[in-house]
């Protein structure tokens, strides 16, 4: 059994959750944290001083790679910094990288992240958190794939609230649709709220005012014939933040605060399995175990690339008077 040296880049609240993923693994240790803010770094070290008393702190990731030589790197920085950090980690010899969503803010950046990881044999996992949730994994693997609603026909996902935009929680919504569909997105069309073309935060650091991000509605056609419907808005804060309807030929599932299976006149709440670890910490833990075993991660980089393809497909559809846009998009 190999030993794994974990380094966290971006030591704020999400980075703290990344570190939790190494707890309970006898062969994994958080050895370093890197952040541009000394205050944030010190708070990170203080948080984990009992678990890992020798955490080294850096404000330069390249220096950290050179000195610490981590084989697991996690990244919780602003969106537009993901690409350079993932590429640097892969080139420095990291065997696994766990990156926050969205994968990147441009397709070119996403492509070079995937290329660097595949060239170096680095496993890339992305924080699309529903894939690390016991209820959602049960719905996918046991209920849908198990045939409990018959042949899957369509998935309707709706998202509202302050972070309801495409590059905010919209990436989670699109990935959840893709995850449940279990197939490659082939083409899309969409309608976006006026002003999307001037919203510079799309390519920025994630935005400090996510409620200004334009609303969007879109359609995703999958290779297996499943239809996906996306609606996301940051303007409505009164209704449910998440609502899903998953329709099959013999029943359907509604997902809000809980998941309910409907067949004919009968309905039953679907119980989530009890897991010791879930969410972001499970994503990091599964990455370490995947590096150890060679198995595939639940949220691989290429699945996250599909999400970015859909988002930019929506943009292109809007530019072309809501036309059908085939994926993957051509690169310049």
Torsion of CA 169, 175, 179, 185, to 10 degrees: 150
Please count the CA atoms within 13 angstroms of the CA of 328 that sit on its side-chain side: 14
**Statement to judge: residues 196 and 313 lie in one domain:** yes
Distance separating alpha carbons of residues 218 and 185, to the nearest angstrom? 12
Assess if residue 331 is contained within a domain: no
Assess if residue 332 is contained within a domain: no
**Statement to judge: residues 154 and 215 lie in one domain:** yes
**Statement to judge: residues 175 and 97 lie in one domain:** no
- The pLDDT tens digits for 129-180 are 999 999 999 999 999 999 999 999 999 999 998 888 888 899 999 999 999 9
State mean pLDDT over 32-39.
Answer: 98
What pLDDT is attached to residue 94? 99
- The pLDDT tens digits for 75-88 are 999 999 999 999 99
Q: Which domain holds residue 40?
A: 4-128+278-299
Structural domain total, the chain = 2
Assess if residue 113 is contained within a domain: yes
Distance separating alpha carbons of residues 24 and 121, to the nearest angstrom? 26
- The pLDDT tens digits for 257-312 are 899 999 999 999 999 999 999 999 999 999 999 999 999 999 999 999 999 999 99
**Statement to judge: residues 136 and 212 lie in one domain:** yes
- Rg over CA atoms, the chain: 20
Phi-psi map region of 206: left, alpha, beta (phi>0 left; psi -120 to 50 alpha): left
Structure tokens at 150: 């018959």
CA 234, distance to chain mean position in Å, is: 19
**Statement to judge: residues 216 and 156 lie in one domain:** yes
Distance separating alpha carbons of residues 85 and 237, to the nearest angstrom? 34
Task: From 171, 180, 106, select the one nearest 137 (Cα to Cα).
Answer: 180
What does each C-alpha distance from 321 to 189, 217, 315, 317 come to in angstroms? 9, 14, 10, 6
Distance separating alpha carbons of residues 132 and 280, to the nearest angstrom? 7
Mean of all residue pLDDT scores within the chain: 94
Q: Are 90 and 70 in contact (CB under 8 A)?
A: no
Assess if residue 100 is contained within a domain: yes
Say yes or no to pLDDT of 51 above 60. Answer: yes
């Amino acid at each position: 059994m190999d030993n794994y040296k974990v380094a966290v880049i971006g030591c704020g609240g999400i980075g703290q959750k990344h570190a939790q993923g190494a707890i309970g693994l006898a062969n994994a240790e958080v050895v370093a944290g890197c952040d541009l803010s000394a205050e944030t770094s010190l708070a990170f070290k203080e948080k984990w001083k009992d678990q890992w008393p020798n955490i080294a702190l850096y404000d330069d990731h390249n220096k950290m790679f050179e000195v610490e030589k981590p084989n697991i790197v996690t990244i919780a920085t602003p969106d537009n910094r993901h690409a350079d950090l993932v590429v640097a980690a892969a080139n420095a010899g990291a065997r696994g990288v766990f990156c926050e969503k969205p994968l990147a803010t441009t397709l070119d950046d996403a492509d070079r992240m995937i290329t660097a990881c595949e060239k170096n044999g680095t496993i890339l996992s992305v924080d699309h958190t529903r894939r690390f949730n016991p209820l959602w994994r049960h719905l996918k693997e046991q209920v849908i794939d198990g045939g409990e609603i018959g042949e899957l026909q369509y998935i309707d996902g709706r998202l509202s609230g302050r972070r309801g935009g495409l590059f905010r929680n919209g990436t989670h919504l699109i990935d959840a649709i893709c995850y449940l569909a279990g197939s490659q997105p082939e083409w899309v069309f969409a309608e976006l709220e006026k002003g999307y073309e001037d919203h510079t935060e799309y390519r920025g650091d994630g935005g400090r005012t996510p409620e200004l991000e334009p609303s969007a509605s879109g359609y995703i056609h999958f290779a297996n014939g499943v239809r996906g419907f996306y609606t996301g808005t940051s303007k409505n804060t009164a209704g449910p933040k998440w609502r899903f309807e998953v329709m099959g030929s013999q029943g359907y599932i509604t997902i809000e605060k809980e998941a309910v299976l409907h067949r004919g006149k009968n309905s039953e709440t679907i119980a989530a399995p009890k897991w010791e670890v879930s969410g972001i910490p499970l994503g990091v833990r599964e990455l370490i175990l995947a590096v150890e075993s060679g198995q595939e991660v639940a949220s691989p980089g290429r699945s996250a690339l599909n999400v970015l393809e859909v988002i930019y497909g929506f943009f292109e559809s809007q530019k072309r008077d809501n036309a059908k846009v085939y994926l993957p998009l051509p690169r310049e």
